[in-house]
Amino acid sequence: MKTNINLRSYNSFGFDAVAKEFVEINDANELQTLIRRGQLKGKEVLVLSGGNNILFTKEVFDGIVLYMNNKGIKRIADEDDHAILRVQAGEDWPEFVKQMVAKELHGVENLANIPGKVGAAPVQNIGAYGMELKDSFVQCEAIHLETGKKRTFVNKECLFGYRSSIFKGMLRGQYVITSVDLLLKKDAPLNMEYGNIKAYLEQNGIDNPTLQQLHDAICAIRYAKLPDVKQIGSAGSFFKNPVIERAQFEALQKDYSTMPHYDEPNDKVKVPAGWLIEQAGWKGWRNEHVGVYDKQALVLVHFGGGKGEDIVYLAKRIQDSVEEKFGIRISPEVNFV
């Protein structure tokens, strides 16, 4: 166990926050031992994975950080048409996706280059370009932070939704995910319906893409729109895309005929928060330390020298101004600590 560790390099926003205590977990059993010895008792616990979806709002985290760094990828089933992979929580997600694509296994290619570690992927059911983690998720193993007991959560039990799961909802803060099992197909149609994937492939003269070519195209599309967290601090999309009633959408459409939208079940419509924020005039806005990314307004960025509070303040101003213009309150997808 280490004490007084600066977490700047452990969060993709790159904010300073000092953790009173910090333990790196390299094996699920180590975590169970810590719990059984009572070393977490009475302490505030923060499970830290890649730190890509977290905003530190205070300079000191007065508790214990569990940094998940257990590694290993194992094929636990190998059938004619699919394989099941058991992936330890500390594995890097983009690297895992690359390896699967190289092995011609389908099911995670559209989730290419989403920064983060495998253990965090189910927590918010990561999604991009028409694919979500839940589509290939079989089950995960998790450890209860109070009792140290292991439990398996199958897909249904995780209550996956858009950027949500039971681990972000009802069971928030109670379990640590230690490994994830994913079912990947040996052959499957490629999913190229979302946004500009087809246009990108066409522009690059690719008619009938291979799995690898689709993966690489997604990486290129992301690269053009989203900041590289190694260069500019961010947590990817800062807000969720709001889902509104169809009646409200139709009323708005009278004034804003170009509003992009996606139909949802139960007479609801999802509208892109990035579009709303851009229309409210925020795209590219910045001060010395923080701002709104100029290529994708859904991403708030930290240019350096700022504090988490600067983002909190900016996010609130954006929420207020979007609400004033459209009557829609957008909410963050990033976790505040």
Report the catalytic residues.
163, 237, 333
Closest CB 328 distance from ligand EPU, rounded Å: 14
Choose which of 56, 67, 93, 129 interacts with ligand EPU (CB under 6 A).
129
Decide if 16 contacts 298 (C-beta within 8 A). Answer: no
The torsion region of residue 336 among left (phi > 0), alpha (psi -120 to 50) and beta comes to: beta
**For ligand EPU, which is the closer residue by CB, 183 or 300?**
300
Q: How far is the CB of 113 from ligand EPU (least distance, A)?
A: 9
* CB of 200 or CB of 303, closer to ligand EPU: 200
Name the token pair of 209: 């893409």
Whichever of 146 and 223 has its CB closer to ligand EPU, that residue is: 223
> Which CB atom, from 127 or from 306, has the smaller least distance to ligand EPU?
127
Residue 127 CA to residue 162 CA, distance in Å, equals 8
Of 240, 242, 291, 337, the residue at the interface with ligand EPU (CB under 6 A) is: 240
Among 50, 90, 236, 306, which residue interacts with ligand EPU (rule: CB under 6 A)? 236
Q: Is there binding between residue 296 and ligand EPU (CB under 6 A)?
A: yes
Residue 90 or residue 236: which is nearer to ligand EPU going by CB? 236
Would you count residue 135 as binding ligand EPU (CB under 6 A)?
A: no
- Could you say which of 17, 177, 333, 337 contacts ligand EPU (CB under 6 A)? 333
Burial 20-57 (b: 16+ CB within 10 A, else e): ebbbebeebeebbebbeeeebeeeebbbbbbbbbbbbe
**How far apart are the C-alpha atoms of 64 and 57, rounded to whole Å?**
16
Does the footprint of ligand EPU cover residue 297 (CB under 6 A)? yes
Q: What angle separates helix 211-225 from helix 93-102, to the nearest 10 degrees?
A: 150
Q: Mask 51-90, x = binds ligand EPU (CB under 6 A)?
A: ----------------------------------------
Considering the rule CB under 6 A, would residue 195 count as an interface residue with ligand EPU? yes
Q: Which strands make up the sheet holding 290-292, listed edge to edge? A: 233-237, 299-302, 290-292
Reported in sequence order, the residue ranges of the chain that DSSP labels E, i.e. its strands, are 2-6, 18-25, 45-48, 54-55, 60-68, 73-78, 82-88, 127-128, 131-132, 137-144, 150-154, 175-185, 233-237, 243-245, 262-264, 268-270, 290-292, 299-302, 335-336
- Is 298 a binding residue for ligand EPU by CB under 6 A? The answer is yes
From candidates 11, 178, 179, 237, binder to ligand EPU by CB under 6 A:
237
Within 8 A by CB and 6+ apart from 320, the residues are none
Residues 256-295 touching ligand EPU, rule: CB under 6 A, are 260, 272, 274-275, 278, 283
Contact 133, 123 (CB under 8 A): no
Which residue lies nearer to ligand EPU by CB, 6 or 203?
Answer: 203
Binding site for ligand EPU (CB under 6 A): 128-129, 194-195, 225-226, 236-237, 240-241, 260, 272, 274-275, 278, 283, 296-298, 333
